Structure 1
């Protein structure tokens, strides 16, 4: 089964329908607190929907993801809701490697953003997501930014517009559950929009 077929099946599933619902906000002390400090080590699972224009045509797909990172490496696995592997990604200081599902050979490049755009057809901003998944970013002025329920939107230095729309339950400090990331795009890929839902995590 081809990647495009898998993407179409996954997209039709509409796994991320919850992204369109009203934001969920923490109560008590967590309602005014910012997220916890950035952590180099992180392990998460969730769902991701990507929508974009490519060659003037609207495209969309939805995948499950597994995310693991430490100080020197990021590993991402993308799959359909049926468990079929869409791609696996490894990012280190030396570069990025992407392997599509099936028997295709791995592809490498210096930047995962350009590599994902070339191989998958849409941009996965892994370097930014290391912080975004935790509610942290670098804003357009180059300053560190941390999310809170009262301060949930920012434009990053790379031009991504982030909006946090849901929060995990429990805990003194809020933890992201849902967020959106939008970028005007460039070249053949325009109007990139990511919708991400993070599975509950222990704190």
Structure 2
């Protein structure tokens, strides 16, 4: 149950091309925030549990409307292993052949199921290149301004873009690390790769 939930909850949520330091970097901001978004991609999670290093890999499909978020988690072999539905009043996890689990919100569901909270509340913003910075200000990612520490203690690094030179670049890869007192915490690191949307 842990595996699909971990993948699902961070479904986000992005291995792209590295930018050569000498290359000119675009200063264009990402596209305006959209309430309704459909994305697909891959996720890799490295974390520590009971003193052991663990890692998970999988794919996700993210469908977001103004009020709801639906996340399908897919195993490396292509099987849907879990579906998460988040509404303003609840979060539900459905795994194949198991009873659905429900909590008032996604953070509570992860805490209840895993024993610790994953950074799920920020994913609606993060996947589009937005975040709330540690100083409370709105962060908008650009290829030239590509990292931030969030108000809830996560370091986001926008490693690569679908097309860095586009008028409105879209995130491709996001690396997420837990930060405490300004230092990286080695108990969780997440890499999210958003696949290009078919035109």
Superposition TM-score, scaled by structure 1 size:
0.80
Q: What does 1:147-166 align with in structure 2 at a 5 Å threshold?
A: 147-166=141-160
Do the aligned partners of 1:24 and 1:167 also contact (CA within 8 Å) in 2? no
Spell out, residue by residue over 1:60-90, the C-alpha distance to the aligned partner (whole angstroms, 9 max, x if none): 1001000000110000011112122221101
Residue in 1 that maps onto 2:62: 67
Aligned residues: 185
Gap change, CA 1:198 and 1:53, over 3 Å in 2:
same
Q: Distance in 2 between matches of 1:24 and 1:105?
A: 49
Superposition TM-score, scaled by structure 2 size:
0.81
TM-align CA RMSD: 2.8
Q: Distance in 2 between matches of 1:182 and 1:3?
A: 20
Residue in 2 that maps onto 1:201: 197
User: Would you identify which runs of 4 or more consecutive aligned residues in structure 1 move more than 6 Å?
Assistant: none
Q: Distance in 1 between matches of 2:190 and 2:20?
A: 19
Q: What does 1:9-28 align with in structure 2 at a 5 Å threshold?
A: 18=15, 22-23=18-19
Structure 2 residue ranges without an equivalent (≥5): 6-13
Q: What does 1:1-203 align with in structure 2 at a 5 Å threshold?
A: 18=15, 22-23=18-19, 31-100=26-95, 102-119=96-113, 123-169=117-163, 171-184=166-179, 191-201=187-197
Higher helix share: 1
Q: Distance in 1 between matches of 2:166 and 2:19?
A: 18
